[in-house]
Copies of this chain bind each other. A is one copy, B any other.
Amino acid sequence: MSKGRLEAFSDGVMAIIITIMVLELRAPEDGTLEALRPLLPKFLSYVLSFVYLGIYWNNHHHLLQAAKQVNGPILWANLHLLFWLSLIPFVTAWTGENSFSTIPVTLYGGVLWLSGLAYYILARALISHHGQDSVLAKAIGKDSKGIRSLYIYSAAILLAFVAPWIATGLYIFVAIMWLIPDRRIENKLTGQDAYE
């Protein structure tokens, strides 16, 4: 089964998710700078979520590039990832509307955690289909960055009850950690070593 439509559908869904979040930034009635101020937390949560979705699209792009073909379980592992990503606009809006208070920030972390897990499952499904000796399996390796992210999200969710800005800071930290695209796969594909 070819991977073309899976890529096209995922691109479509991720493009829509990344774009409809902006609908939450409703234009205020007054045309003054003061009228913009209440939108600031919404804007910041939009920026964070835009970056996260950019990271997911980027990594998804790299992951599928190394894949040769897909099967039924991979299609569903992919839809499972898209499901959690589709909830990002909701938690983004809730976090922004409540100025990054504890419960919304916790739920935001929960959706990040489940998205991260879903990505991990998708990577495993791809490896199990391509074999442990495939280029893809070697390129993904143990996915220690993905596992580390889940640990950090867990810590962030707990620390949100101490102070929500610590959790938010950790989400930003993970985003920065991922901003560099997945060099492991790129290296393997171009035959370079992946010692990093």
Interfacial residues, chain A to chain B (CB-CB below 8 A): 1-2, 5-9, 11-20, 22-33, 36, 47, 50, 54, 57-58, 61, 65, 72, 75-76, 79, 82-83, 86-87, 89-90, 93-94, 97-98, 101-104, 107, 179-181, 183, 186
Contacts and interface: CB of A to CB of B under 8 A. Distances in A.
Contact of A19 (B17, B57, B104): B17
A132 to B, nearest CB: 22
Contact of A27 (B13, B33, B57, B93): B93
A36 B104 CA distance: 10
B23 A16 contact: no
Contacts of A2: 65
A162 to B, nearest CB: 16
Nearest to A92: B27
B7 A5 contact: yes
Q: For the complex, would chain A's binding face be called helix, strand, loop or mixed by DSSP majority?
A: helix
Contacts of A16: 12, 15-16, 19-20
Copies in the complex: 4
B31 A94 contact: yes
Given A15-B13, A23-B20, A54-B79, A31 B104 contact: yes
Contacts of A20: 16, 19-20, 22-23
Contacts of A7: 5, 8
Nearest to A99: B31
A18 B82 CA distance: 10
A82 to B, nearest CB: 8
Contacts of A28: 94
Given A72-B181, A181-B75, A31 B86 contact: no
Q: For A9, A24, A180, A181, which residue has the most chain B Cβ atoms within 10 angstroms?
A: A9
